Amino acid sequence: MSDNAQASQAFQSALSVIETVEPRIAGAIRSELTDQRESLKLIASENYASPAVLLTMGNWLSDKYAEGTVGHRFYAGCQNVDTVESVAAEHARELFGAEYAYVQPHSGIDANLVAFWSILAHRVEKPALAELGAKTVNDLSESDWETLRRSFGDQRLLGMSLDAGGHLTHGFRPNISGKMFHQRSYGTDPTSQLLDYDALAAQAKEFKPLIIVAGYSAYPRRVNFAKMREIADSVGATLMVDMAHFAGLVAGKVFTGDEDPVPHAHVVTTTTHKSLRGPRGGMVLATQEYADSVDRGCPLVLGGPLSNMMAAKAVALAEARTDNFRSYAQQVADNAQALAEGFLKRGASLVTGGTDNHLVLVDVGGFGLTGRQAESALLDSGVVTNRNSVPNDPQGAWYTSGVRLGTPALTSRGFGPEEFDRVAELIVDVLKGTEPTSTSAGAPSKAKYAIANGLAERTHAAASELLDKHPLYPGLEL
Ligand code: PLP
């Protein structure tokens, strides 16, 4: 991370300027740093971006409109945005070994929308236009356009189910991905809770999807993307991998060979703010074959790119090229192992029995709690996690039976395996010391709970001891 003492001055000046306009916002920014400093952040999708990344976001690049692509903008005066976008895309291509990179998406959901619609453009629109002898959709007659427009909605998508660890953008019905495609989900093996590639191959053969989505938000294991590509090829599907969660482990060369999605997928999407430790944002990587379709993210589903965020992506990607980042990524995985072992040796049950990536999914049903109760009791104790479904969750998607924990953030603070073992101990103690209570009508509650006297305070104090050893942004004073 860059020099925090130097960054202090920049943040202090920025806050004093903000204070003169809206002191409550300056106050909230200050408080957020305090809160983040003082809690054990185990949310698997969060991290701490470097001061260099944070400072790159707040400037006048934000004021520039630049719809279009590098050298081909719908606005004048975009030379600096062109530099920003080119540098970010160059870093992304080099870091991930991708043929093409598109750094405009504002978020992971945007990146997935760009990917879906560019796959449809490549696989459905292009052949239809060629057959009709038209160059663009604007050249089509009303009736040909209507036929083509309807055919987008006839396409099939096969993605990982939410309760097996997939993301809502992978075909979940309440999300647009579940509405724009005929959608089916693949799950995991009911006994091992691991991906079953043979079952997936059989399902793909029967369903014949246009797109198979691999990748996850809450699956604590590595995926064999070479196998995924074989399955996609066997049914003529496009393989799209959403590596939002584990992009940092790919960038840091922890996931290589069959576990690296980039050489195997046609299209790879990611967020830039989770294990990759960059700014909030998304990115799409693609093979040359899909490049010109992905390049049309605007006007397909995006408007003007957020140039300040693309600049921050470039800075984060530059950081991710370093040996330091590689050691960080390896430490993220090693720490997850230590966390998982810490739970297992204390009798907790983990989905899939462990982890080999950056996250652990604890089945808290064994402690007699719902995910909601566990999440709340842990928060009361200074441990920030999020509840998450487990496969075939008996408590449903709101209350859930799981708590998802990730190592990227605390690893950024310098936590090692011993500290993660202690974190597991603290969490197990809280889960053991928490009991469900009843609703006011006397029925068992899925949300209410009671923590043993003094336990939350003791856990807070123990967490503070760990956190004090690894201060967040040391030297950064506000
Ligand atoms: N894809 C996956 C696998 C995710 O886990 C997430 C976020 O949690 C997203 C996409 C969406 O990212 P964003 O919140 O930036 O839209």
Segment 58-83, tens digit of pLDDT: 999 999 999 999 999 999 999 999 99
Do residues 366 and 396 share a domain? yes
Residue-wise pLDDT tens digits, 77-102: 999 999 999 999 999 999 999 999 99
Do residues 281 and 347 share a domain? no
**Cβ-count burial 452-468 (b if 16+ within 10 Å, e if not):** eeebbebbbebbeebbe
Question: Could you list the residue range(s) of the whole structural domain that residue 377 is in?
Answer: 330-469
Do residues 304 and 369 share a domain? no
Nearest C-alpha to atom 14 of ligand 1 is from which residue? 108
* Site to substitute for ligand 1 among 271, 280, 301, 309, most atoms within 8 A of C-beta: 271
Q: Residue 386: which CATH number? A: 3.90.1150.10
Active site residue 67: yes
pLDDT value of position 61: 97
Last-in-domain residue among 321, 352, 369: 321
Active site residue 197: no
Active site residue 280: yes
Of 360, 376, 345, nearest to 410 (Cα)? 360
> Is position 406 annotated in a ligand binding site?
no
> Is position 166 annotated in a ligand binding site?
yes
CA end-to-end span of the chain: 18
The token pair that represents 427 in the structure block: 């969490």
Compare 135 and 3 and report the one with higher pLDDT: 135
Active site residue 271: yes
360: in domain: yes
Q: From the CA of 281, how far away is ligand 1's center (Å)?
A: 9
Q: From the CA of 108, how far away is ligand 1's center (Å)?
A: 5
Q: Helices in 39-78 by DSSP H: which ranges?
A: 51-57
Residue for token pair 């209570």: 437
Is a pLDDT exceeding 60 seen at residue 450?
yes
Do residues 203 and 254 share a domain? yes
The whole-angstrom separation of Cα 7 and Cα 58 is 13
Bridging pattern class, strands 282-286 and 100-102: antiparallel
DSSP single-letter state for residue 217: S
3: in domain: no
Question: Cα 249–239–102 angle (5° rounding)?
Answer: 65
Do residues 272 and 392 share a domain? no
* Residue 135 CB coordination number (10 Å): 10
* Site to substitute for ligand 1 among 43, 106, 170, 217, most atoms within 8 A of C-beta: 217
Q: Residue 132: which CATH number? A: 3.40.640.10
The whole-angstrom separation of Cα 311 and Cα 104 is 10
Residue 76 CA, chain-centre distance (Å), reads 34
Catalytic-labelled residue, pool 271, 352, 355, 407: 271
Do residues 296 and 370 share a domain? no
Of 293, 295, 244, 239, nearest to 264 (Cα)? 239
Q: From the CA of 109, how far away is ligand 1's center (Å)?
A: 6
The token pair that represents 367 in the structure block: 């402690």
Do residues 308 and 364 share a domain? no
Q: From the CA of 286, how far away is ligand 1's center (Å)?
A: 18
One-letter amino acid for residue 319 of the chain: E
Do residues 314 and 334 share a domain? no
Residue for token pair 């939002």: 244
The whole-angstrom separation of Cα 324 and Cα 303 is 35
Tell me the average pLDDT of the chain. Answer: 96
Is a pLDDT exceeding 50 seen at residue 1?
no
Q: From the CA of 271, how far away is ligand 1's center (Å)?
A: 6
Last-in-domain residue among 321, 344, 361: 321
477: in domain: no
Percentage above 70 pLDDT, the chain:
99
pLDDT value of position 439: 81
Do residues 289 and 365 share a domain? no
Last-in-domain residue among 286, 321, 356: 321
The answer to pTM > 0.85 is yes
The whole-angstrom separation of Cα 195 and Cα 158 is 14
Active site residue 100: no
Catalytic-labelled residue, pool 67, 230, 258, 421: 67
> Is the CB of residue 204 less than 8 Å from the CB of residue 234?
yes
Is a pLDDT exceeding 80 seen at residue 448?
yes
* Site to substitute for ligand 1 among 106, 113, 167, most atoms within 8 A of C-beta: 167
Do residues 305 and 369 share a domain? no
pLDDT value of position 396: 92
Ligand 1 site residues (CB inside 6 A) read 45, 107-109, 112, 167, 169, 215, 217, 242, 244-245, 271, 282
Nearest C-alpha to atom 11 of ligand 1 is from which residue? 108
Catalytic-labelled residue, pool 156, 274, 387, 446: 274
Is a pLDDT exceeding 90 seen at residue 438?
no
Is a pLDDT exceeding 50 seen at residue 2?
no
- For residue 45, give the ligand 1 atom closest to its CA: 8
CA pseudo-torsion sign 315, 319, 321, 325: negative
Catalytic-labelled residue, pool 280, 296, 346, 448: 280
Is a pLDDT exceeding 90 seen at residue 3?
no
* Site to substitute for ligand 1 among 109, 168, 170, most atoms within 8 A of C-beta: 109
DSSP single-letter state for residue 438: E
Q: For residue 306, what are the β-bridge partners?
A: none
The whole-angstrom separation of Cα 443 and Cα 192 is 34
- pLDDT mean over 382-407: 96
Is a pLDDT exceeding 50 seen at residue 360?
yes
Do residues 91 and 132 share a domain? yes
Is a pLDDT exceeding 80 seen at residue 115?
yes
> Is the CB of residue 165 less than 8 Å from the CB of residue 217?
yes
Cα–Cα separations (whole angstroms), residue 65 to 73, 81, 303, 436: 9, 9, 9, 53
Q: From the CA of 266, how far away is ligand 1's center (Å)?
A: 19
**Crossing angle of helices 307-320 and 79-96, rounded to 10°:** 30
269: in domain: yes
State how many domains the chain has: 2
For residue 171, what are the contacts with CB-CB under 8 A and spacing of at least 6?
157, 158, 159, 177, 178, 181, 183, 184, 185, 213
DSSP codes, 332-398: HHHHHHHHHHHHHTTT-EEGGGS-SSSEEEEEGGGGT--HHHHHHHHHHTTEE-EEE--TT-TTHHH
